[in-house]
Structure 1
């Protein structure tokens, strides 16, 4: 049986993945005037570049190198860099689309919208949908007492995998599901910081090579998660690592934005 506490934690976790991006977007719209279109483009960037293109690359690589996941360091380097390359270059394409289609001012609000949309749809699709699925399975199959009948109807190749998934749902402590709230908060903050950095590079506020900096920063932040997937570090260590990288990146990007904004203001004052 999956405990009531675990079911409640799943529900809270799933709900947060939908509510958190909305709250952040509402605040950002009021404070910086970011458009819904910029958030929609950010979400589209994630779907196209992370789910479709990066997912297609993973399918090819893991078919050609099936033992790669069993080599933690190589897997972490590959997975982290792939995420950085696809998602940050996707952001560049997203800003090009916004530049051509968005009538709102090309200010930091555009970058914030891109980051919120990107991180928000990632939270919904990767965590929210999966958690809802786990919740439905827990209630309708495991707690309903139909697990054995359900497993008996599966092909032999799938039966052991699904049985392990059922076992994991039963044995996972309730607080574990709540960790995803913190993890998604960190991820959304990371995407916002990276979006602002790429936007500054795209608009010429900083050198274009900072796009490479965004790729490497993204890869560095994802390294902990990749090592967790390989079983090298715990989920707490992975989240702690992501938090440290995100805080350092956010502070660095904020400082860069403030300094470039001041320089632009001084230049405008001199020309006038």
Structure 2
């Protein structure tokens, strides 16, 4: 099945930006601020270990073998809260452990940004970038049922909504990182709870809105967009408490 060359080009842009945004952001931060490599790469490591090694294999391979999980998955409210809650607990717990024990000398505002870029960046690279590299090669081969199936699913709206969602997700991950960094710096654990609640609500909404109300992907992206805007506004407000001596960028 012949695929529109524009679709192929758009898919390549999506793949490129999934890698270029976090890596470019890291390079920019490294020029502006010193010693941001450690939080950036620890952010990557924490996401990989807590999500890819621990949570996702359990959810994808172990829990589907249990009756209670199968029953729960039929209820979008319970399933959404479970998926959102487990994602929040694993990622925010991992974030807290990293900041509390591994980044004792890296708790600046810039370090929080770097950590969020690493955390959200590796998520974009692995879940979207790598998967779509595989899709691209299969489609370009054009010689299998799978290639035809992927080609049918590809369209401009899907590709650019995915790109928009990844940009928002990275912003959200940076905002959540700043919340956890501030929780550790200020010794006020309520900010960790805020991060847990916000993370749960965002991920749960992505499941509940289409599952319970049948809304389109545009509404779920609107929720993520709203969360990103709120977190960005909070980041601007909280910045002076991190680095009162001067501007960040």
Q: Which TM-score band applies after superposition, normalised by the shorter structure?
A: 0.7 to 0.9
Q: Tell whether 2:212 aligns with 1:211.
A: no
What 5-or-longer segments of structure 1 have no aligned partner?
A: 152-161, 266-272
Q: Tell whether 2:70 aligns with 1:89.
A: no
Aligned to 1:63: 65
Is the partner of 1:70 in helix, strand or coil?
A: coil
Is the partner of 2:73 in helix, strand or coil?
A: helix
Report the alpha carbon displacement of residue 171 of structure 1 after superposing the two structures with TM.
4.4
Task: Note the aligned Cα RMSD (angstroms).
Answer: 2.3
Report the alpha carbon displacement of residue 206 of structure 1 after superposing the two structures with TM.
5.4
What 5-or-longer segments of structure 2 have no aligned partner?
A: none
Distance 1:113 1:14, change over 3 A: same
Report the alpha carbon displacement of residue 83 of structure 1 after superposing the two structures with TM.
0.9
Aligned to 2:229: 247
Distance 1:62 1:4, change over 3 A: same
Contact 1:49 1:87 in 2 (8 A): yes
Distance 1:40 1:171, change over 3 A: closer
Distance 1:254 1:34, change over 3 A: farther
Aligned residue runs from structure 1 range 87-166, under 5 A: 87-99=91-103, 105-140=106-141, 142=142, 146-147=143-144, 162=146, 166=148
Aligned to 2:15: 14
Contact 1:34 1:113 in 2 (8 A): no
Report the alpha carbon displacement of residue 60 of structure 1 after superposing the two structures with TM.
3.3
TM-score, scaled relative to structure 2: 0.86
Report the alpha carbon displacement of residue 43 of structure 1 after superposing the two structures with TM.
0.2
Within 2, Cα distance between the matches of 1:247 and 1:186? 9
Q: Tell whether 2:175 aligns with 1:193.
A: yes
Within 1, Cα distance between the matches of 2:205 and 2:189? 27
Distance 1:173 1:106, change over 3 A: closer
Aligned residue runs from structure 1 range 225-244, under 5 A: 225-227=206-208, 230=211, 232-244=214-226
Distance 1:261 1:21, change over 3 A: closer
Distance 1:28 1:260, change over 3 A: closer
Within 1, Cα distance between the matches of 2:219 and 2:108? 36
